[in-house]
């Protein structure tokens, strides 16, 4: 075929197709113009409009330009290679990364003459690029699948839960969003990945989510039944994007990465179900670590029989709970279930003739009939201000989320001494240490002795899965060393350990139970406090009065087959 003047204006693959007689020159020119208008590659236009078959275009291009033609459907594409090129560039140029060799990246293309695409991708990834010819129809399918695989590989998790994402709504996500040049917070894969993490944590019964950047990797961990488990290792390059997305959801300053921030997310899962997350960021050497605490009011068991108190402990708990005034304290480390214990008591006392007010940071459990105040130091609403306000509101019962300083402690003690029931928490290891801790804060010994009715120290340990636990054979000497008595051993002790639950329960544990030290302040205990006794002397007195410490409570749970001795040691031994 002779080359006409009109044909000369065509270039690249279009000119080759005309010369080979696969398309008329006028049709080629029109197709070229239409493809430009639609902003799609010419080859894509020709194939989708059924103007020229894709296999004939590929064969012609391979023969003309000496570029190898491959069947892309026979190749397994590595998601990590796909992610070397941004999704926008892949879609824009219809070029899919196949593999790399050293500093050279090989791209699957249907039009190898599109030098602009090769150059732009070369500049973006910092590697030389080389074209490999692929039939257009197969390339389109391969690009779609490769991008999906790359997205799914973000969390290296199953995609089953994505069906629920359409019902996931961030409530009150209307704060001003600062510009962030380094983080594309609208990146769809990142949004889906974060949403998936939140849903997975809820479904697995997690209490906390940890998003942690390090020098050479990034990981996500869930705390499930009190133990951290790694669940995902997204690409390190997503460090800032993940942080930015979470900060937008929790209404933080996206542009501020140098100081810690606190926020809150309220996720509406359905018309009747929503879950709150308390969010905390902390700058580290390699990015911001983010920890999210799940605050699920519906999951909180507010029935005392579900908490795991022994019968004699429950009796002491309830007796002191119904006293008209005094302090009712719950102690233990973060995540030990203190709030649930307090709210179990509040739920019992929540009657129409009782005025209950709470000050918390944050409000973790929503309880109708209780006046709950959210502490926010940024607005000046502190614990001591809330307490002062409560005392002018005709209260019967006051709950303070935590006694953190001497001011709050003093107001709480005075309220307890003047006819109010005050319930609160402290971070101490056991009940006797709580008494000396208050003295260290500056509360007078006499005030402590006359205001406190009860101190409960607690921990949470994992329950053995009832279907997979198995007997543990331990010699008498070991049982004695662990703390069991000769009498208990003579009566017979059968301890259990976790069995292999397979995929259903890989750890052999499911759920948690509380172990407690429930110590009421007797007259002898008050005398020792006033005399300035230390925590060791107070602990000795508690033992004389038959009060179980946390260790003994844990041994009882193991003896009952609820948990293992290994778990008791993990929780109770320093």
Quick: pLDDT tens for 133-159: 888 888 888 888 887 776 655 444 344
Q: How large is the greatest C-alpha to C-alpha distance in the chain, in angstroms?
A: 115
Tell me which of 39-43, 127-131, 205-209, 465-469 is least confident.
39-43
Interatomic CA distance for residues 157 and 242, integer angstroms: 16
Q: Would you state the pLDDT for residue 7?
A: 42
Residue 357: pLDDT above 90?
Answer: yes
CA-nearest of 292, 286, 285 to 265 is: 292
Please state the φ and ψ torsions of residue 110, each to the nearest 5 degrees: -105, -15
Between residues 151 and 508, the one the model is more confident about: 508
Radius of gyration, CA atoms only, the chain: 33
Band of the pLDDT at 90, cuts 50, 70, 90? confident
Between residues 8 and 556, the one the model is more confident about: 556
Tell me which of 76-80, 209-213, 445-449 is least confident.
76-80
pTM for the predicted model, two decimal places: 0.64
Residue 164: pLDDT above 60?
Answer: no
Summary count for the chain: helices (H), strands (E): 23, 20
Q: Would you state the pLDDT for residue 169?
A: 60
Q: Would you state the pLDDT for residue 11?
A: 60
Cα–Cα separations (whole angstroms), residue 59 to 54, 338, 394: 9, 71, 88
Task: Report the range out of 257-261, 372-376, 497-501, 517-521 with the highest average pLDDT.
Answer: 517-521
Any residues with CB less than 8 A from the CB of 47 and at least 6 apart, and which? 53, 54, 57, 110, 136, 137
Q: What letters, b where the CB count within 10 A reaches 16 and e where it falls short, cover 24-50?
A: ebeebbebbeebeeeeebbbbbbbeee
Residue 181: pLDDT above 70?
Answer: no
Q: Would you state the pLDDT for residue 178?
A: 40
Residue 331: pLDDT above 80?
Answer: yes
Band of the pLDDT at 529, cuts 50, 70, 90? very high
Interatomic CA distance for residues 57 and 22, integer angstroms: 8
Assess contact for 263 and 378: CB atoms under 8 A: no
Residue 176: pLDDT above 50?
Answer: no
Residue 185: pLDDT above 60?
Answer: no
Tell me which of 1-10, 108-117, 377-386, 430-439 is least confident.
1-10
Between residues 211 and 377, the one the model is more confident about: 211
């Amino acid at each position: 075929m002779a080359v006409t003047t009109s044909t000369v204006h065509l270039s690249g693959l279009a000119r080759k197709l005309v010369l080979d007689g696969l398309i008329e020159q006028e049709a080629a020119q029109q197709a070229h113009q239409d493809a430009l208008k639609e902003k799609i590659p010419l080859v894509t236009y020709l194939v989708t409009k059924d103007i020229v078959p894709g296999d004939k275009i590929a064969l012609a291009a391979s023969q003309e330009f000496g570029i190898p033609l491959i069947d892309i459907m026979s190749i397994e594409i590595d998601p990590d290679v796909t992610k070397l090129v941004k999704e926008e560039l892949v879609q824009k140029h219809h070029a899919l990364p196949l593999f790399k060799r050293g500093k050279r990246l090989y791209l699957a293309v249907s039009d190898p003459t599109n030098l602009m695409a090769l150059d732009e991708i070369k500049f973006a990834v910092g590697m030389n690029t080389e074209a490999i010819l692929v039939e257009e129809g197969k390339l389109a399918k391969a690009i779609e699948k490769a991008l999906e695989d790359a997205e799914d590989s973000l969390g290296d998790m199953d995609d089953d839960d994505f069906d629920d994402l359409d019902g996931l709504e961030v409530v009150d996500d209307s704060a001003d969003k600062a510009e962030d040049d380094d983080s594309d917070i609208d990146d769809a894969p990142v949004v889906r990945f974060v949403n998936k993490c939140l849903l997975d944590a809820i479904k697995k019964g997690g209490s906390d989510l940890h998003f942690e950047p390090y020098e050479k990797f990034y990981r996500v961990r869930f705390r499930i039944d009190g133990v951290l488990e790694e669940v995902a290792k997204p690409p390190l390059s997503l460090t800032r994007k993940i942080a930015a997305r979470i900060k937008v959801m929790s209404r933080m300053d996206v542009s501020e990465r140098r100081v810690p921030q606190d926020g809150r997310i309220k996720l509406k899962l359905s018309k009747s179900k929503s879950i709150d997350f308390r969010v905390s960021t902390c700058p580290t050497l390699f990015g911001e670590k983010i920890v999210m605490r799940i605050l699920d009011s519906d999951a909180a068991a507010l029935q005392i029989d579900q908490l795991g108190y022994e019968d004699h402990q429950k009796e002491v708990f309830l007796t002191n709970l119904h006293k008209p005034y005094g302090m009712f304290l719950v102690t233990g480390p973060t995540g030990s279930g203190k709030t649930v214990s307090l709210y179990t008591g509040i739920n019992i006392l929540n009657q129409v003739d009782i005025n209950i007010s709470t000050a918390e940071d944050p409000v973790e459990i929503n309880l109708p009939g209780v006046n709950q105040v959210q502490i926010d130091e940024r607005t000046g609403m502190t614990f001591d201000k809330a307490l002062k306000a409560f005392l002018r509101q005709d209260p019967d019962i006051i709950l303070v989320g935590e006694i953190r300083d001497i001011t709050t402690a003093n107001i709480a003690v005075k309220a307890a001494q003047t006819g109010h029931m005050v319930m609160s928490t402290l971070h101490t290891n056991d009940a006797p240490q709580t008494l000396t801790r208050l003295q260290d804060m500056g509360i007078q010994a006499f005030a402590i002795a006359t205001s406190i009715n009860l101190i409960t120290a607690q921990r949470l340990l994992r329950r053995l899965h009832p279907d997979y636990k198995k007997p543990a054979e331990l010699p008498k000497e070991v049982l004695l060393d662990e703390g069991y008595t000769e009498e208990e051993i003579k009566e017979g002790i059968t301890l259990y350990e976790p069995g292999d639950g397979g995929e259903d329960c890989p750890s052999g544990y499911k759920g948690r139970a509380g172990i407690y030290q429930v110590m009421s302040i007797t007259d002898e205990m008050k005398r020792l406090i006033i005399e300035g006794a230390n925590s060791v002397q107070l602990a000795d007195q508690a033992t004389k009065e038959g009060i179980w410490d946390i260790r003994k409570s844990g041994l009882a749970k193991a003896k009952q087959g609820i948990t293992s001795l290994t778990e008791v040691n993990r929780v109770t031994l320093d």
